[in-house]
Structure 1
Amino acid sequence: MPELSSQKSVDSERFARLLSATQDLDTPFAVIDEPSLWANATDLVRRANGVPIRVASKSVRVRSIIKDTVARDGFAGVMSYSLAESNWLVDNGIDDVLLAYPTTSRSALDYLVDDGRRLAQITVMVDSVEALDHIDSLLGAGHPAIRVCIDVDASLKIGPAHLGVRRSPVHSAAEAGALASAIAARPGFHLVGVMFYDAQIAGLPDSSPAVRLIKKRSAAELLDRRAKVVDAVSDHATLEIVNAGGSGSLEVGGADPVITELTAGSGLFVPTLFDGYDAFEPRPAAYFALSVVRKPAPDIATLFGGGYIASGATNKNRQPTPTWPPGLKAVGTEGAGEVQSPVKGPAALDLHIGDRVVMRHAKAGEMCERFDEVAIISGNGRATLTPTYRGEGKNFG
């Protein structure tokens, strides 16, 4: 009980600071607790065990925060999610951008090859000869050499079961070696890296003994297979990049000697999907605030806005979570609504029209697609408004 009471006191002080600093802002607005943000960054570096971390831009989507994070010790480079975004980041002074997904954008490819700095600083992801064919079909023969990285499927396969996300068709060392050979023999492409994203480890909370067992088995399988893939690809290219991991699996990747870098982004903001991991204590840094606009019952407060459902297999854990004041939950029949979101519980009895409720999003960067700016609140309660990608007029899909 004393521990719970102490945590409640800390939370009370934090939310009092956040709400006081933003009292002149109209809701809805997004807010970042700066001390928690940088404490999370420090903890990510600790967990990475000396391996540099790329910042996953899709989990942040605020250019100033990406740039400030990359400048910190222990971080190096950005993992982007769109080639147009990659070009934009490099044009705005950010170096070493690894595109996490294949591209089919003619305009972004044209823009990439039009500038030597972009070509030097951006690495494009591929996972098949067909992807190379498509790039050639868009740019024509004789285009400048594009740096490429092979996306290797890091899922765990047990018989017919596929545990992980559906990404690359390249799974085995033989498949990776064959694609590397094809790239090496092909003008217009320069193979520099391989990437392994272990979603079944990084993106899965430790919710049961069965989950922990699967994650342990997957980590052991990947340790063996990654080394074989790197050996096979190294027969055809000098690798600069062996990328792996995510915010939930830094310890696993950091212990593998073949890995040259890790990736993390969600661990900076710590959304609700990152509660429940054994490896770290959640320290939420990103929130949004909604106002009470009506009281349909004494124990129900209706908030304006809030229908910010996270992507993925839709269920309750994709909904935003009422966080402050404590003692609130969504009304099950409505959830997070397009225009209104009712919440209920003992705390609603003390809420009045105009009061503010602080919410946490289920995922990290997706919150920022809803707001033109975020208010970054320092430890002494100073608010700095900074634009999101959306606020800079950028929509990368």
Structure 2
Amino acid sequence: MTLDLSSHPADGQPWRDVQRYWRGLTAATADRQPPVAVIGLAALRHNAQSMLQRAGGTPIRVASKSIRVRAVQDAVLALPGYAGILAYTLPEALWLAARRPDEVPDIVVGYPTADPDAIRALAADERAAAGITLMVDSTAHLDLIDAAIAPDARPSIRVAIELDAAFTAPGLGRLGVWRSPIATADEARALAEEIARRPGFALVGMMAYESQIAGVGNRPRGGLPGRLVTGRVIDWMQRHSATELAERRGAAVAAVRAVAPLEFVNGGGTGSLESTSADPSVTEIAAGSGLFGGHLFDTYSHFTPAPAAAFALPVVRKPRRDMATLLGGGWVASGPPAPDRLPEVVWPRGTRMQAREMAGEVQTPLSGRTAAALAVGDRVWLRHTKSGELAEHVNGFVVIDDGEMVDEVPSYRGEGQAFL
């Protein structure tokens, strides 16, 4: 079955009726043994359309890292407004390209590669080389490609320059992930000129990921006074960061365009669709996490994705009458170790993890007002903090629509692939 994400007004928003929604998922997956992961088709449709509206007409390149399910990627790319994939490794890009042998791929690898075998495989496939773009931010990346296969023995390798998008705020210091060493227009132009000078390369794009906007919620959890103060600081930081980056990115793009005609300038993420689309130098936005709607996005004020992906674990122990222990549960998201990296129990409500154990590799004990009613064999529903990382724990997802199972789709893991 091909997943249909076109607009269905009759779908409504079934996840708003919390009790009915989660109990319905339990009933719809009754013949599947947990752990079981699900995709709610109505919620996925809602999220896909919401992201397009927030992007305001700027095309969205699908970030595959945040999905890791080919059927979902294909369904999203069938919608007008989505175009191309942002892959996270070159082997993944080659695998995705091979799945569509009749098409020239439109895949940008969002992170530099240091895999000479994959570089040689790219060079050996003219169709793949014509549509897969590698990310670079230094001459070391160019040297590595040349060392893998000489310029005169390969087709031109498409490359894009990544610009550092971090923001330095007074009193706060550097905010944003450590990625590229290229931060200024002069540095971007110097690398562009080096790429243009060297045979065997075609400079076709640029990228800048503003993680301090796209990946940081402006309404953090916590006690009310501290939460409000922190939220205001984040609001201030994100506004000033967006202004600073628009000016700096615009200058860098103009400098590089003076050296090479660029096919694309990629920026942003799910959390920054509005501000990134307002930057006139950006031609496309990379986003994917908002499609599944991990609970990370519950801390954002300007959008609320539906819980399109979730997973259920079984109760296997009752260590005490008012407790219930789940099998597994330590599906921890990447990032700084903290409680917000843990899965969130969403049904039944009124349970909590144990402070000295939390979510564990083999078990997750729960207590709270509803834990006493849970019996061995019952299911508990959880949401992952992020999105695509959930797919690394399951071989596939059960697709639910209108309270019924309509399909099962494999994850990358279910197709025998593990890229990172």
Q: TM-score range by the shorter chain?
A: over 0.9
SS at the partner of 2:299? coil
> Is residue 381 of structure 2 the alignment partner of residue 370 of structure 1?
no
> Is residue 254 of structure 2 the alignment partner of residue 231 of structure 1?
yes
Q: CA deviation at 1:290?
A: 0.3
Q: Which amino acid aligns with 2:112?
A: P
Q: Which residue of 2 aligns with 1:3?
A: none
SS at the partner of 2:331? coil
Choose the corresponding residue for 2:82, options 71, 75, 82.
75
Aligned-residue CA RMSD (Å): 1.5
Deviations 1:15-57 (A, max 9, x none): 1221111101111111111110110000000000000001100
SS at the partner of 2:335? coil
SS at the partner of 2:163? strand
Q: Which amino acid aligns with 2:177?
A: V
Choose the corresponding residue for 1:200, options 212, 215, 221.
212
SS at the partner of 1:35? helix
Q: Which residue of 1 aligns with 2:55?
A: 48
Q: Which moved more, 1:157-166 or 1:13-22?
A: 157-166
Find the aligned partners of 1:392 and 1:282 in 2 and give their Cα distance: 28
Unaligned residue ranges in structure 2 (runs of 5+): 1-12, 220-230
Find the aligned partners of 2:286 and 2:321 in 1 and give their Cα distance: 46
Choose the corresponding residue for 1:150, options 146, 157, 161.
161
Q: Which amino acid aligns with 1:215?
A: Q
Q: CA deviation at 1:8?
A: 8.8
> Which structure 2 residues correspond to residues 230-249 of structure 1 after superposition, within 5 A?
230-249=253-272
Q: Which moved more, 1:373-382 or 1:21-30?
A: 373-382
Choose the corresponding residue for 1:188, options 171, 185, 200.
200
Q: CA deviation at 1:140?
A: 2.6
Q: Which residue of 2 aligns with 1:178?
A: 190
Find the aligned partners of 1:64 and 1:91 in 2 and give their Cα distance: 15
Deviations 1:171-228 (A, max 9, x none): 0011001000100111111000000100000000013100000000000001111110
Q: Which residue of 2 aligns with 1:96?
A: 106
Q: Which amino acid aligns with 1:177?
A: R
Deviations 1:267-313 (A, max 9, x none): 00111111121210231111110000111112210001111111111
Q: Which residue of 2 aligns with 1:111?
A: 121
Find the aligned partners of 1:368 and 1:380 in 2 and give their Cα distance: 22
Find the aligned partners of 1:57 and 1:222 in 2 and give their Cα distance: 25
> Which structure 2 residues correspond to residues 352-367 of structure 1 after superposition, within 5 A?
352-367=375-390
Unaligned residue ranges in structure 1 (runs of 5+): 1-5
Find the aligned partners of 1:48 and 1:8 in 2 and give their Cα distance: 24
Q: CA deviation at 1:380?
A: 4.3
Deviations 1:321-371 (A, max 9, x none): 111011111111111111111111111111101000001111111110001
Does the 8 Å contact 2:344/2:384 carry over to 1?
yes
Does the 8 Å contact 1:321/1:329 carry over to 2?
no
SS at the partner of 1:382? strand
Choose the corresponding residue for 1:321, options 308, 330, 344.
344
> Is residue 173 of structure 2 the alignment partner of residue 161 of structure 1?
yes
Find the aligned partners of 1:97 and 1:38 in 2 and give their Cα distance: 23
Find the aligned partners of 1:278 and 1:62 in 2 and give their Cα distance: 28
Q: CA deviation at 1:114?
A: 0.8
Q: CA deviation at 1:77?
A: 0.5
SS at the partner of 1:369? helix
Choose the corresponding residue for 2:40, options 33, 36, 42.
33
> Is residue 15 of structure 2 the alignment partner of residue 15 of structure 1?
no
Q: Which moved more, 1:133-142 or 1:7-16?
A: 7-16
Q: Which residue of 2 aligns with 1:332?
A: 355
Find the aligned partners of 1:71 and 1:153 in 2 and give their Cα distance: 31
Find the aligned partners of 1:378 and 1:261 in 2 and give their Cα distance: 31
> Is residue 126 of structure 2 the alignment partner of residue 126 of structure 1?
no
Does the 8 Å contact 1:21/1:383 carry over to 2?
no
Q: Which moved more, 1:41-50 or 1:132-141?
A: 132-141
Choose the corresponding residue for 1:270, options 284, 293, 303.
293
Choose the corresponding residue for 2:402, options 366, 373, 379.
379
> Is residue 366 of structure 2 the alignment partner of residue 343 of structure 1?
yes
Does the 8 Å contact 2:14/2:21 carry over to 1?
no
Q: Which residue of 1 aligns with 2:279?
A: 256
SS at the partner of 2:270? coil
Find the aligned partners of 1:88 and 1:39 in 2 and give their Cα distance: 29
Q: Which amino acid aligns with 1:66?
A: Q
Identity rate, percent: 45
TM-score by length of 2: 0.91
